[in-house]
Amino acid sequence: MAGDKLSTVLRILDNENRLLERADQKAIALLSTLGVFMVFFVVYFRVIPINAVTITLSSVYFFFALLSIVYLIMTVRPRIRPIDENSGDEDSVPASEPAFFMGIRRFRNLSNYKEALNIMAGDEETTVDVYIRQIYSLAQINAAKYKYIQRAVLLVIISLSVELVIIAYLFAYHLGEGLVPPISGM
């Protein structure tokens, strides 16, 4: 029965880790997409006439693009407050968690780490508690990441929409100036 509890906890931990990776992949993909479109915009910036419409649209575009970048960076590296655990059972909570990076790096040497890992592995209930705390921590991180990624998606859509409006305006502007050759049939 206890083995089932540990395997269930490990499955949940694995799912939380996958969600964490997925949020990072989404953020990196959006950042890459935004970067490609920004390069296109900067390359063709020289053909944009200087007038009130283009200055306004360009300012709006750069504002939303920079805001998008900030939220995408916050998705990859969210700011999380330390979790305050007031469960009342301090005796069963190890001082350092030897199963995860932050806990591992607190040990001064390998022998201290090995001793704590053996103690944790010897008691299945302690092991389950360590994993449950890690699941809770990852869930808090995931909540922050998905909040930022949702906002970033909206901001990227707005940025790209403004860029498309600028392109449409430029086409109409250059067509009106006679700089765009007419489309002719064969």
Give how far Cα 183 sits from Cα of 139, 148, 176, Å: 55, 44, 14
Please tell me the predicted confidence (pLDDT) of residue 108: 81
What are the tens digits of pLDDT across the range 54-99?
999 999 999 999 999 999 999 988 776 655 555 544 444 445 566 6
Tell which residue, 55, 43, 61, 47, has the closest CA to residue 163: 61
> Whole-angstrom Cα distance, residue 27 to residue 156?
11
What are the tens digits of pLDDT across the range 101-147?
667 777 788 888 888 888 887 888 888 888 888 888 888 889 999 99
pLDDT class for 185, splitting at 50, 70, 90?
Answer: low
Please tell me the predicted confidence (pLDDT) of residue 186: 53
**Is the sign of the CA dihedral 46, 47, 51, 57 positive or negative?**
negative
* 44-51 average pLDDT score: 83
> Whole-angstrom Cα distance, residue 143 to residue 9?
19
Domain-wise residue ranges, the chain:
2-176
What are the tens digits of pLDDT across the range 5-14?
878 888 988 8
Tell which residue, 70, 71, 45, 73, has the closest CA to residue 59: 45
78: alpha, beta or left, given left = phi > 0 and alpha = psi -120 to 50? beta
